[in-house]
Every structure is written in structure tokens, then in C-alpha cells.
Amino acid sequence: MKINKIEKRKEIRNLHIDSLFAIFGELYASKGAYTAFRGSNFILINRLYRERLLFLGQEVDSEISNQLIGLMVYLSIEDDNQDLYLFINSPGGWVIPGIAIYDTMQFVQPDVQTVCMGLAASMGSFILAGGEITKRLAFPHAWVMIHQPASSFYEAQTGEFILEAQELLKLRETITRVYVQRTGKPLWLVSEDMERDVFMSAAEAQAHGIVDLVAVE
């Protein structure tokens, strides 16, 4: 019996992608907040991933960062022409994992379209701004918040405080440069906004250059 090579490649590819999604699904489901992903809902999430729809709906940490990075890299290998979509509803979180997501978005070949729904705060807004320029969207009642990075390093000696402050300044400079590049706003304005928590409506985020479009109600 002759085997159709194209069909065989599709079968192998589907096997690989099913295995990948099963791994990520189990990682999600292992956390209490994601137990709903099991069973029939896991089939839904699997389907969303196949459609290249990714979700950041929690605080940014190393675990969710690694999961999103893995999915973006794998899906870009599967098809390097079709856009990826990252939906964001996040209060922010850790800086380095957030920067890792941002860097991966710039690294993968497909454009990454970002969509803000609910709230994109702190590193959430940083990742939102990292979407492909002209392809960053906010829902009409979404909110965006930017501010400077903060530290929780309290119980330490003076020398450690100084080193921590120096590292924070470097991180702030990095984040500020990215916002300047992605928004087209002057350095002085971005630096001024990052001095405090600045909340923006969808329209204000568009005016600031963090998103390009606001969805119509």
C-alpha cells in the first residue's frame, strides 16, 4: 500500500502539536486557578491554540512566561507567515519574565497582534506595547497602566540596597527605551509618566501610542 507523503507529514505534525498542547494543558491544569482547563474545556483551549490565540490572564511570572514563549516559538515553526494573537488581561508582575515574553514576540517570524481586554497594567502594558505596530488593539472599556519597576527587597544590608537600586535603574532605563521606541513618544514624556501609576482609558492608551486601535462597541 502506498502512503501519501503529504498526509503522513500532516499526521506527524498533528501528533507533535497535540503532544505539545497536552503538555502545556497539564501545566496549566496543575495550578488551582486552571483546573477548569481539564476535560471538555481543555479541548476548547487546544482549539484556541490551534487558531494561534494565546492568553495572558494572570500575573506575569516565570511559569506563564515560559509557557507563552514555548507556544509562540512552536507555532512560529508550524507556520511562520500567519499572525499570532495575544489577549492580555493582567495586573502585571515580574519584570524579567515580562521582558522575556516581549523579546520572544520580537524574535518570532510571525507578527504578534496584542489585544487588551480588562486591564493591562505594569508588565501587562509593556507586553501590550510589544505587539506588532499597527496591530495593537484595546477593547473599548479596557484600561492600561504604566509605572516604573519596583523592588520588594526590604530586609537587606545597605550594600545590597545599593546594588538593588542600581539594577532597578538599569531595568527602568531598558523599559523606558522600549516604551519610547514602541510609542513614538519623547523620552521626557515617557519618563515623566513612569514616575507614578498612570491609568489610561483605551482612547488615552491609543493617544499615548501603546495601542493603535480601539475596538468599536
Stated as kind and residue range, the H or E segment containing 115 is: strand 112-121
Half-sphere exposure of 117 (CA within 13 A, CB side): 12
Q: Nearest Cα to 130, choosing from 78, 96, 66, 175?
A: 175
The Cα–Cα gap between 203 and 141 comes to: 9
Distance CA 78, CA 81 (A): 9
Question: Is 201 in the active site?
Answer: no
Instruction: Please report which helix (H) or strand (E) contains residue 120, including its range.
Output: strand 112-121
Instruction: Please confirm, yes or no, whether 19 is among the known catalytic residues.
Output: no
Instruction: Work out the burial of residue 131: count CB atoms within 10 Å of its CB; fewer than 13 is exposed, 13-18 middle, 19 or more buried.
Output: buried
Nine-digit cell at 100?
522575556
* Contact status, residue 102 vs residue 114, Cβ threshold 8 Å: no
CB-side neighbour CA atoms (13 Å) of 164: 13
Catalytic residue among 122, 141, 191, 208: 122
* Residues designated as active site: 122, 147
